[in-house]
A = this chain, B = another copy of it.
């Protein structure tokens, strides 16, 4: 007789258990095409379940084609419902490298750049607003949105950017993205074809190089100094697909693009009929004077501006935005639609209210004081430990600075030794396109490090280098 083990302690319904067991036997060929199944009454009584359980399980199997027949005339296993089991792999063995391990960095002091102070995220206000938004918004918000993002956020954002960043834009020029990375990826798809050239600062964030290269584009590196990209080194006859710069705070070296170079760059772009992509990732935290005005404000027809809330709030939110010349907005919206439709609506509305109620500017002011103190601490510690053999670059802004050491070569060996001293350091050379010019420089991110961690970290750096 047909026996199906029923387990009433399982989280699976009885119907599902009967269904699954018969299904698996058919699939595995344990009961074969044409074989007769017991009647629902027989099976119900032998399993000690209600007859309805068996009837429903049979109906399901019938609907899916595992069995054929009608009540009364008998139920049979259908043809073609047997599948031989190819390569049954034990999945769990495949995944030995658990990612959970990575998160336990424990005592290591990590100078990774671009991480804000994670313990100072405004949890209470954000959580409260998120809840209010979820409860109060009109029903329609829970439906599909538009690819450019919520109008409420784009309006608030355009006013905020005008006020704080010298960005001139109509809310309809803004496309809300899932972080600056998506903004970059969209721009790459929008402007680059295979074999196009990208004029780009060197060194520059390694991930950004990858995003452009993976489109099949070639990078044309232009060196930077303390005033950003050395624009006079751009060959005048180039016709790049786009020009990529971080003018407010060059990553990683930290220069600010001078007005003369900004104008040169715009004039070059106009002549070459190219777009400039301005990545403005952390310029809210400027410790000397007010934030530098955007390049976008100089020529909104030529410059695509990329902004992010990763540094001023949290990278976990995945909220960024693009500001595009009107001539590009429609294509960008189409592209965003076919990429992921739009960025989550409730988060956008939470951010809109967070900005509108003044919390963002208060938070930025508060954090700026914190970060300035942390930066000063890094500088003091570097001087204390290394005196004249260290030179600090690019410390006017942001969450990192660059330290240049006389006669040091930050090789992989050096990094391994740092790990043994329980610090993580990041060589500038990793981000260099033309290799060999930045071997004695490291990036020291301080956004998420306390005074104590900074002091201890620089002490350990000293031990690593001596």
Could you list which residues of chain A lie within 8 angstroms of chain B, going by C-beta atoms? 11-13, 15-16, 19-20, 23, 26-27, 56, 59-60, 63-66, 78-83, 86-87, 89, 91-92, 94-95, 98-100, 102-103, 115-116, 118-119, 121, 123-124, 126-128, 130-135, 139-146, 148, 151, 163, 166, 169-170, 172-173, 177-179, 181-182, 185, 207, 210-211, 214, 227, 256, 258-261, 263-264, 266-267, 270, 288-290, 292-293, 298-301, 314-319, 326, 337-347, 396, 448
Beta-carbon contact of A318 and B342 below 8 Å: yes
Determine how close the nearest CB of chain B comes to the CB of A58; give it in whole angstroms: 9
From B64, B124, B143, B178, A292 is in contact (CB under 8 Å) with B64
**Cα separation A100 to B11 with both chains bound (whole Å):** 47
Residues of chain B lying within 8 A (CB to CB) of residue A163:
11-12
Q: Offer 6 A-B interface pairs, CB within 8 angstroms, sorted by A.
A: A63-B396, A115-B143, A121-B142, A127-B133, A181-B338, A339-B339
Beta-carbon contact of B12 and A339 below 8 Å: no
Which single residue of chain B is at the shortest CB-CB distance from A264? B80
Beta-carbon contact of B270 and A316 below 8 Å: no
Knowing A118-B139, A126-B134, say if A182 contacts B316 (CB, 8 Å): no
**Cα separation A137 to B343 with both chains bound (whole Å):** 23
Determine how close the nearest CB of chain B comes to the CB of A16; give it in whole angstroms: 6
* Identical copies in the complex: 2
Residues of chain B lying within 8 A (CB to CB) of residue A339:
181-182, 185, 339
The 9 lowest CB-CB distance pairs between A and B, nearest first, are A127-B134, A65-B258, A80-B260, A60-B289, A316-B345, A182-B340, A95-B172, A65-B259, A131-B131
Question: Chain B CB within 10 Å — which of A133, A134, A345 has the most?
Answer: A134
Beta-carbon contact of A91 and B145 below 8 Å: no
Residues of chain B lying within 8 A (CB to CB) of residue A345:
316-318
Which single residue of chain B is at the shortest CB-CB distance from A211? B338
From B16, B116, B182, A290 is in contact (CB under 8 Å) with B16
Beta-carbon contact of B326 and A344 below 8 Å: no
Which single residue of chain B is at the shortest CB-CB distance from A260? B80
Secondary structure of the A side of the interface?
A: helix
Which single residue of chain B is at the shortest CB-CB distance from A82? B263
**Cα separation A96 to B260 with both chains bound (whole Å):** 36
Beta-carbon contact of A170 and B130 below 8 Å: no
**Cα separation A118 to B362 with both chains bound (whole Å):** 35
Beta-carbon contact of B314 and A143 below 8 Å: yes
Which single residue of chain B is at the shortest CB-CB distance from A313? B142
Knowing A13-B290, A289-B59, say if A259 contacts B64 (CB, 8 Å): yes
Knowing A79-B260, A314-B142, say if A185 contacts B89 (CB, 8 Å): no
Determine how close the nearest CB of chain B comes to the CB of A363; give it in whole angstroms: 13
Determine how close the nearest CB of chain B comes to the CB of A129; give it in whole angstroms: 9
Beta-carbon contact of A210 and B315 below 8 Å: no
Residues of chain B lying within 8 A (CB to CB) of residue A172:
91, 94-95, 98-99
**Cα separation A11 to B156 with both chains bound (whole Å):** 14
Beta-carbon contact of A63 and B315 below 8 Å: no
**Cα separation A315 to B290 with both chains bound (whole Å):** 41
Beta-carbon contact of B144 and A115 below 8 Å: yes
**Cα separation A121 to B133 with both chains bound (whole Å):** 13
**Cα separation A91 to B452 with both chains bound (whole Å):** 50
**Cα separation A342 to B314 with both chains bound (whole Å):** 13
**Cα separation A61 to B94 with both chains bound (whole Å):** 58
Knowing A65-B259, A86-B270, A288-B59, say if A143 contacts B185 (CB, 8 Å): no
From B92, B145, B260, B317, A346 is in contact (CB under 8 Å) with B317
**Cα separation A337 to B207 with both chains bound (whole Å):** 9
From B121, B128, B292, A131 is in contact (CB under 8 Å) with B128
Knowing A83-B299, A89-B301, A347-B347, say if A65 contacts B316 (CB, 8 Å): no
